[in-house]
Amino acid sequence: MTVIDANRMHEIEARYPEYFHRSFRQRFGGLMIVIATLLYGLYAVWFFDLPKLFAEAHWERVGIYLSQWVSYDVQPEFRIQDDGSIAVRYPRFSPLGDNPHPDWVVDNPDGSITVAVSGAGLAVTISKSETIVTAHGVSVPVDVSSGAPKVVGPVPAWMTVYDDNVLADLGFAGDVSISVDRVKIRKRFLGWANFVFDTQSSFFDKPVGEVISLIVSGPRIKPDQSNLSLAFDDIWNNSEWQHGDVWTKLFQTIVMAFLGTLLGALAAFPLAFMAARNITPNRLLNQILKRFFDFLRSVDMLIWALFLTRAFGPGPLAGSGAIFLTETGTLGKLYSEGLENIDNKPREGIQSTGAQTVLVHRYGIMPQIVPVIVSQTLYQWESNVRGATIIGAVGAGGIGLKLWEAMRTNVNWENVAYMVILILIVVFLFDAASNALRHRLMGSRTH
């Protein structure tokens, strides 16, 4: 065991003061960061009033909206006539077509009608005098023979009684609204109705095998058009899903992002050389251009889009212009900072040979700055595909406007899901393409 005397101890302390005489920040810095983070969290909870926000939030709407993303509903209405018969009516634009006869609506021998709401034992039996709702393992009769519907027996928790109707909530399967002279049922199905062919198509409601047979070798449905061309027209002009318009708007979004980024890069490239202090030794010009870049990128792309839609009207031109202005500022700043951080030795070596300025830039600067330019431009291009969707919602064209229109109706959530999936696929593909191009052009791909 080695014993260290006092002199030796003082010598060690003098040699390594950073370990023996640590400052307050070094000793308690980590603890202070943790305390500050906790205090900020408490402040955020108070500032946003999170307890009240969570208590008053309509969490039930989350499930409703999510279910509407992946399902659709059919709403038959059963009207009780004066003679005791029951007339069935469907909405004008029913997913079942103009003359539906679904197998889940059954006419009984006694004149009543039974509707199978789902395969889990949910059913509604409608007659002149009463409607019986079977759900959650019980059957609840509702008397409709008097002036107002009346539940016979105890009212279950999933059923609500109003003055003139009774509402039965069947969860995801749908709901039933019962009044004296009519019963309206909302029956929900998983999937997207009529995604390929709408109800007006000649191929509507035909099995897949029959559709393929008609396209390949069947007789012409329209004498002046092949079945293949007719099928494509019916898909492209699907009135419910509007595939043609959605894909056209998606292509507009991609073009907006590409054109705006390309023009921004072309404008930012020469300006960056004039803004870089080591390339253009004019401090006034450097500062003017850098502040110009700051101005362009400090105004958000969405604000530029609002300005330009007022000037040029709604459409892709305003969207491309907004991306161009934002990218000129962003890429100009990135390019100029990259130029200021280059190694000046290659440039000085070429200058010493008496080469022209263009050649000095070409061989002394460009080999160093190209990786930065390529990387940043491709990243901004990829990011602008997402940004173009957002600015489209304010009238700048593209699929963003289409998405906003579908969301505003508050009923076409399956169309919203369709467009969101398309946007995700495009962003994923552009992200993969951008990464592949960066690796290839910068020579960093591994084999």
pLDDT tens for each residue of 17-42: 666 666 677 777 788 899 999 999 99
- Please give the mean pLDDT across all residues of the chain: 86
Give the Cα separation of 50 and 296 in Å (integer).
36
Tell me the mean pLDDT in the region 400-417: 85
Tell me the mean pLDDT in the region 286-310: 90
Q: Which residue has the tokens 């038959």?
A: 76
CB 332 within 8 A of CB 324: no
84: left (phi over 0), alpha (psi -120 to 50) or beta: left
- Residue 437, pLDDT above cutoff 70: yes
Residue 2's pLDDT band, with cuts at 50, 70 and 90, is low
Alpha helices in 49-151 (DSSP H): 50-56, 59-69
- Residue 236, pLDDT above cutoff 90: yes
pLDDT digit string (tens) for 166-190? 999 888 888 999 998 899 999 998 9
Determine the pLDDT at residue 364. 79
- Residue 324, pLDDT above cutoff 90: yes
pTM over 0.75: yes
Give the three-class secondary structure for 190.
strand
Determine the pLDDT at residue 9. 67
Give the Cα separation of 3 and 180 in Å (integer).
101
H/E stretch holding 184 reads strand 182-190
Share above pLDDT 70 across residues of the chain, in percent, rounded to a whole number: 92
- Residue 446, pLDDT above cutoff 50: no
Torsion sign (Cα): 264, 270, 276, 278: positive
Tell me the mean pLDDT in the region 256-271: 93
CB 170 within 8 A of CB 176: yes
Which of 189, 197, 319 is closest to 263 using CA atoms?
A: 319
Please give the C-alpha separations between residue 346 and each of 7, 273, 349, 372, in angstroms, as whole numbers.
Answer: 55, 17, 5, 17
H/E stretch holding 31 reads helix 24-47
pLDDT digit string (tens) for 129-154? 899 999 888 899 999 888 788 998 89
265 or 438, which is more confident: 265
Candidate CATH numbers 3.30.1490.190, 1.10.3720.10, 3.40.50.1860, 3.30.830.10; the one for domain 243-441: 1.10.3720.10
Determine the pLDDT at residue 263. 95
CB 363 within 8 A of CB 354: no
Give the Cα separation of 146 and 128 in Å (integer).
11
Alpha helices in 357-412 (DSSP H): 357-360, 366-391, 399-409
Q: Within 10 Å of residue 307's Cβ, how many Cβ atoms?
A: 14
Determine the pLDDT at residue 331. 94
CB 76 within 8 A of CB 90: yes
Determine the pLDDT at residue 376. 86
| Every domain of the chain and the residues it spans | 75-190, 243-441
- Residue 412, pLDDT above cutoff 90: no
Give the Cα separation of 161 and 145 in Å (integer).
16
